[in-house]
Structure 1
Amino acid sequence: MIQAFGLTSNTRRDLPPAVDDLSLEARAGRVTALLGAPGSGKTTALRLMLELQQGRGITYFRGRPLHRIAHPSLEVGVLLGDVPGHPDRTVRGHLRMLCAAAGVPVRRADEVLEAVGLVSLRDERLGTLSRGMDRRLGLACALLPDPHTLLLDEPADGLSSRECQWLHGMLRAHAAQGGTVLLTTADPKEAVRAADRVVTLDKGRFVADQDVHDFARTRLRPRVAVRTPHAARLAALIAKEARTAQRSVEVVREEGNRLSVYGSTCADVGETAFRHGVLVHQLADEVGDMGPEAACPSETEQGPAEAQPRAAAPESAETDVPHDVELSVGTSERERRVKGSAPSAEALRSVDPLSPLPPPISVRSAPSPLRPLRYELRRAAGVGTGFLTAAAVLVASALTAVFLARVGHTPQPRLLAAWPRELPLPPAALGAGLLGSLAFGDEFRHPALAADRGTVPRRLGLLAAKLVVSAATALLLAFLTVGCDVEVLYLVYGRELAEVPADWPALSASWIGLVVGCAWAGVLAAGIFRSTTAGLAALVAVPVVVVPLVQKVFEGASVRAAAGFPVRLREVFLLQWPFGGERYLEVAARVIVQPVGSAMTLSLTALLCAYLLTSLRGRVR
């Protein structure tokens, strides 16, 4: 059950609010349609309910506001706009990634694919889906965690008539199981076909809340649709004959050469056109929309005998204002009460009775994925960008190593790492930094995780998962790069250039620290600045800007400055290092005191502090 009270969006400049003091209720076991013309505030109302937009008001989902629900995605399924996902990700891969985020079993992805009829397209890329298939995928994403409540914005947009019938059946089946469904639409006929109850909006304000049968009787009436190049002349002839015969007929000019004739029949309109020689291109019976004001006419503007839809024939004079709507003209929306939709006592206690305005709505970031490590693994492996980047790094490293060996005058450690002195970083470090930057850059560019809940969350759980996955990827890339370079050098130049250096433990630690540090720098910088480009820029700034500063501060501090550091540390703290632990500590110290190691350590510390400050600032808001 959804109960919304006093929803009001913030005004911009001198424009009126898109939603003004709106209160409504959508009951469990029913499909409720929020009807309004484009620009009437339907989407804004949903965003206010979901706390995605600032304003005022409060919305209860089964008695609790959304920010009081621990895992909103398990309670409310949402479809707003197109499905935001990476265009190269497959349909099935996208849903499996969201399964990890929602904490549901991975088999649920196949179940919803079968439910929405996308089994045959499960290997299609998101960027190749048509509008109708995208709406089906959006519905699958909303149904994935099996929520109690569905909030769908224009779910039938882009669907054929047959697909719309299928959609209506799915929504009614969800409601029949005790769920709540609230959808928006701009088509009154669509609302009649899909919903059990219709709430009408006009320019952001409430108009009526009606049972679908009462809505159809007061809002929709049969009409004759006519298309003719002589629309003005035919309209005048029909009106003249209606006055002569004392019949209640209304003729409305539509766009182009179209007429809508209320209170007449196709036979009468066709005979009139034939007698006067008027060419007719179309003549058909349709169901016409009488406009939002026809759904709930005001008795203060008309007499009781005239309280009927415009253009009504005398035989339909029994049409009146629906009895289930009590609307006081000129009063505040909060003073209006629809029979059967009064708020519960718990809901009323939650709203301050002394406050003249409803409480403000604070936009909150999305919650972290329930299974962050599994989510990050599926996100990284679901797109071919990482594999292409790794392949490009291996090829570039091998070619660079062969070229450096041919030129000569390159130390063997730099030769194996394909790291010319003229370049700030080797290809493997740049590739690891790019993959790390994509870990957050893709999240902000294609926010599959936070599609319905605002920006991508900067939570420590998600950050830890991204750091672990990026470190593992960088470690694998570092080993593959050195192995590939050694093999290529052996094939081209023989065993002499492919020999393993004597001090390989220290060199390996430095190499792994460099590549993993670059990956982490990319992750943190992209998470702070919300851009892959910013992550790469921060990575390149380490050797270009930070290293010279560190060298100036320490004025050429060498590795020998750390010699004996573990021994002195053991003497100070009286520690006994098991299994020769001082050697590993000495290796780590050697890595850190190098100019590049010191600059990387300093940069990572600064980026981590900035990330934590940004995260805390977001929580304070």
Structure 2
Amino acid sequence: MIQAIGLTSNPRKELPPAIDDVSFEAHSGRVTALLGAPGAGKSTALRLMLELQQGRGIAYFRGRPLHRIAHPSREVGVLLGDVPGHPARTVRGYLRMLCAAAGLPTRRADEVLEVVGLVSLCEARLGTLSRGMDRRLGLACALLSDPHTLVLDEPADGLAVREGRWLHGIMRAHAEQGGTVLFSTGDPKEAARTADRVLTLEQGRLIADQEVADFSRTRLRPRVAVRTPYAARLEALLTKEARTARRSVEIVSEGGNRLSVYGSTCAEVGEAAFRHGILVHQLADEVGDMGPVPTMPPMAVEDDQEWADGADPEEVRWFEAHRTAAEVPRTSAFAAPTVTEPRAPAFVHGSAEGDAEPGAVRTTLATDADADPSDPAPLPSAPPSEAHSSEVDSAPLSPVHSSDADSAPSPPAHPSEVDADPASLSPDRASGTGPTSPPLPALPPPITVRSAPSPLRPLRYELRRAGGVGTTYVTAAAVLVTSALMAVILARIGHTPQPRLLAAWPRELPLPPAALGAGLLGAIAFGDEFRHPALAADRGTVPRRLGLLVAKLLVAAATALLLAVLAVGCDLEVLYLVYGPELISVPADWLPLGASWVGLVVGCAWAGVLAAGVFRSTSAGLAAVVAVPLLVVPLVQKVLEGSSVRSAIGFPMRLRELVMVQWPFGGERYLEAVARAVVQPVGGALLLSLTALLGAYVLTNLRARVRG
């Protein structure tokens, strides 16, 4: 279960906090709705619960706050807004990247894709997905780690009717298996149809915490409750008068001798009954419930023209193949026996069979006109052919009837599926699991055995992150082409030392193309985590896990090393093709030069990674890389200049004397090369920058843990 205690957001400029001292509970095995108008604080409350926003208060997930859970993605599945993935990443690649971060086998991605119906779009780019497909992918991400709790922010916002029903069915199925579901919505009808408990937020405060039956009866549409032994006659008269006056009135037979009149008043109903001499036993203003969700008959998606014309073709094909699973998952236990809810205001036409107009919505109502007014309405048991029925037709205010998808014809309700009183429902019916409830959509298979924690988990994630989009490959190709062209131009101009010629590093540039490219790739490694926070629910807004940092440093170093070797190789090959073999001779001091070159490129990559992690921006990471030769190097040169500076001649011999052992394979030469690279102004400045950035990263990490 979820226990939220005292959630309070930080005050805004001259404005009260978005939410103030909000506390509630969401129990396991139930669907809980967080209801509120736009700006009421629903999203803020969810983000505070998930520790994605600074504020006061705490939320416990089965007795533990999120920052105390070793693997938060296994406990909480989150859907907040659109899927935070790189637009160029594929659907399957994105899920497999998350599988690597969570330590799940890659086949888990295919399992959830099958459940949400995205198998045919597994190679589609995230940036090309429609709203409905993006929502399904977000739900797949939430279900990926088989979490106990689902936290969904406006999951059905902007979805078509059928998509919303399917999504609500997934939520109900998860709760039926013992999970906890908390979702936010701004639609009271959606909350009443889907949830078991409704929490109402208004201006940042919790104003109501109700069971769904109480919420439905107290906070939804007002109605006039009428009880008369001549219910069918009164219904026909009220319908006729509404049609004549062209007023939007909806009349629902509650079974037996009871009527619910929506869109009218007690005075109007009482006057109509008096004029026609109809005896009325009860006439009262009430706030009625909404009735059951109108079920859709099995039909092709193409019949729903309004939806099919505006939907993505892949969505249409998916619903054509899964239309039986798109039905509403359950009938509300608190609902009235039968009711239709046209989206637009509608006229309710008479019950006479000849009054029905073409294209109007019809719902067959089971009644018992002979029942005693003082007795509760019995449970109908006659088959539909023997039950007395009345036709209720709905039409919009204009003479032309609406063709909205919500007004599609509904099949007659079988009397055995109609309950006059919510109290008469059995427990399994009330929970939506009885034999008369439509089958719930299938969930991904549970994860019974989880792999042990592995230090390679972040490394696998980083490899999939870096290789899943074309940015790495495009940047590397641009670096190699630029380096080769610059080497040719420098050779043409002349007066460039051979080491700089092979690195394509003119004196006018602060860094060679390979070093700039490595720094850019390093900055992207952390910059993407903030621009596309795929791990936000698992690691917070600042992904500062030590394993993730080490993985990014290793991958950045390997990428930079490969880029350094390829850049020099391409420069050599192009110089040989253009000018012949005279420019490609190997320098005598190639070892220290090679060490300096590799150290420069890898150091720039690491500086980009650390700076982007500290400043939360790719551009800030690249700026830190460029600042090393422009700002730090002149500062280091100024500190080291003077007569007191001495050379490191004889360093290997003195090192051998200190260790008093023979270095294997001439190891002192390599150490000398590294030492020479470090004592160079650029090498020293880069080492100084890396030390400062690492210290800043550790400091911000400690601050984040203290706040948690």
After TM superposition, the score normalised by the length of structure 1 is 0.76
Counterparts of 2:589 and 2:673, CA distance in 1: 11
Counterparts of 2:487 and 2:603, CA distance in 1: 22
Counterparts of 1:171 and 1:394, CA distance in 2: 51
SS in 2 for 1:77: strand
User: What are structure 2's unaligned runs of at least 5 residues?
Assistant: 225-238, 240-244, 250-262, 275-282, 288-342, 357-395, 405-420, 424-453
Structure 1 residues 4-49: Cα deviation after superposition (integer angstroms, max 9, x where no partner) = 3444444446655544444433222222222232233322332232
Q: What is the CA distance between 1:582 and its match in structure 2? A: 1.4
State the partner residue of 2:638: 552
State the partner residue of 1:510: 596
Give the direction of change, closer, same or farther, for the CA distance of 1:284–1:243 in structure 2 (3 Å limit).
farther
Q: Alignment partner for residue 415 of structure 1, among 470, 487, 501?
A: 501
Structure 1 residues 274-326: Cα deviation after superposition (integer angstroms, max 9, x where no partner) = xxxx984478999xxxxxxxxxxxxxxxxxxxxxxxxxxxxxxx999xxxxxx
Q: Is the 8 A contact 2:4 2:59 kept in 1?
A: yes
Counterparts of 1:246 and 1:319, CA distance in 2: 29
SS in 2 for 1:52: coil
**Percent of residue pairs identical:** 75
State the partner residue of 1:81: 81
State the partner residue of 2:459: 373
Q: What is the CA distance between 1:71 and its match in structure 2? A: 1.7
RMSD between aligned residues: 3.8
Counterparts of 2:645 and 2:673, CA distance in 1: 10
Number of aligned residues? 528
Which range moved further: 559-568 or 384-393? 559-568
Q: What is the CA distance between 1:453 and its match in structure 2? A: 5.5
Q: Is the 8 A contact 2:43 2:153 kept in 1?
A: yes
Structure 1 residues 442-500: Cα deviation after superposition (integer angstroms, max 9, x where no partner) = 21122112157642222322221111101100000011111111111111111111222
Q: Is the 8 A contact 1:76 1:148 kept in 2?
A: yes
Counterparts of 2:653 and 2:544, CA distance in 1: 41
SS in 1 for 2:151: strand
The answer to which structure, 1 or 2, has the higher relative contact order (CA under 8 A, 6+ apart) is 1
State the partner residue of 2:430: none
Q: Alignment partner for residue 671 of structure 2, among 585, 589, 593?
A: 585
Structure 1 residues 188-231: Cα deviation after superposition (integer angstroms, max 9, x where no partner) = 2222332233333333444444443444344445879x9xxxxx
Q: What is the CA distance between 1:140 and its match in structure 2? A: 1.1
Counterparts of 2:10 and 2:196, CA distance in 1: 31
Counterparts of 2:575 and 2:218, CA distance in 1: 84
Q: What is the CA distance between 1:109 and its match in structure 2? A: 1.3
1:244 aligns with 2:271: yes
Q: What is the CA distance between 1:115 and its match in structure 2? A: 1.2
Q: How does 1:441-590 map to 2 (within 5 A)?
A: 441-451=527-537, 454-555=540-641, 561-590=647-676
SS in 2 for 1:152: strand
Q: Alignment partner for residue 481 of structure 2, among 395, 399, 421?
A: 395
Counterparts of 2:472 and 2:679, CA distance in 1: 32
Q: What is the CA distance between 1:541 and its match in structure 2? A: 1.6
SS in 1 for 2:181: strand
State the partner residue of 1:52: 52
Counterparts of 1:89 and 1:189, CA distance in 2: 36
Counterparts of 2:705 and 2:165, CA distance in 1: 43
SS in 2 for 1:485: helix
Counterparts of 1:201 and 1:279, CA distance in 2: 33
Which range moved further: 113-122 or 210-219? 210-219
State the partner residue of 1:600: 686
Q: Which amino acid aligns with 1:405?
A: A
Counterparts of 1:496 and 1:596, CA distance in 2: 29
Q: How does 1:142-161 map to 2 (within 5 A)?
A: 142-161=142-161
Counterparts of 1:544 and 1:13, CA distance in 2: 39
Q: Is the 8 A contact 2:561 2:598 kept in 1?
A: yes
User: What are structure 1's unaligned runs of at least 5 residues?
Assistant: 227-231, 253-257, 272-277, 287-317, 321-367
Q: Which amino acid aligns with 2:635?
A: L
Structure 1 residues 232-258: Cα deviation after superposition (integer angstroms, max 9, x where no partner) = 996999778546336869999xxxxx9
Counterparts of 1:598 and 1:4, CA distance in 2: 51
Q: Which amino acid aligns with 1:571?
A: E
SS in 1 for 2:624: helix
Counterparts of 2:144 and 2:119, CA distance in 1: 15
Counterparts of 1:133 and 1:611, CA distance in 2: 37
SS in 2 for 1:563: coil
Q: How does 1:298-313 map to 2 (within 5 A)?
A: none
SS in 1 for 2:198: strand
Counterparts of 1:243 and 1:222, CA distance in 2: 17
Counterparts of 1:115 and 1:550, CA distance in 2: 60
Structure 1 residues 349-401: Cα deviation after superposition (integer angstroms, max 9, x where no partner) = xxxxxxxxxxxxxxxxxxx9982111111111111111111101111111111
Q: Is the 8 A contact 1:474 1:516 kept in 2?
A: yes
Give the direction of change, closer, same or farther, for the CA distance of 1:494–1:559 in structure 2 (3 Å limit).
farther
Q: Is the 8 A contact 2:248 2:345 kept in 1?
A: no
Q: How does 1:221-370 map to 2 (within 5 A)?
A: 221=221, 242=269, 244-245=271-272, 265-267=348-350, 280-281=398-399
Counterparts of 1:418 and 1:285, CA distance in 2: 68
Counterparts of 1:56 and 1:598, CA distance in 2: 44
Give the direction of change, closer, same or farther, for the CA distance of 1:189–1:450 in structure 2 (3 Å limit).
same
Counterparts of 1:92 and 1:133, CA distance in 2: 13
State the partner residue of 1:424: 510
Q: How does 1:173-252 map to 2 (within 5 A)?
A: 173-221=173-221, 242=269, 244-245=271-272
SS in 1 for 2:110: helix
Counterparts of 1:554 and 1:55, CA distance in 2: 48
Counterparts of 2:141 and 2:264, CA distance in 1: 52
Q: Is the 8 A contact 1:559 1:594 kept in 2?
A: no
State the partner residue of 1:66: 66
Give the direction of change, closer, same or farther, for the CA distance of 1:546–1:51 in structure 2 (3 Å limit).
closer
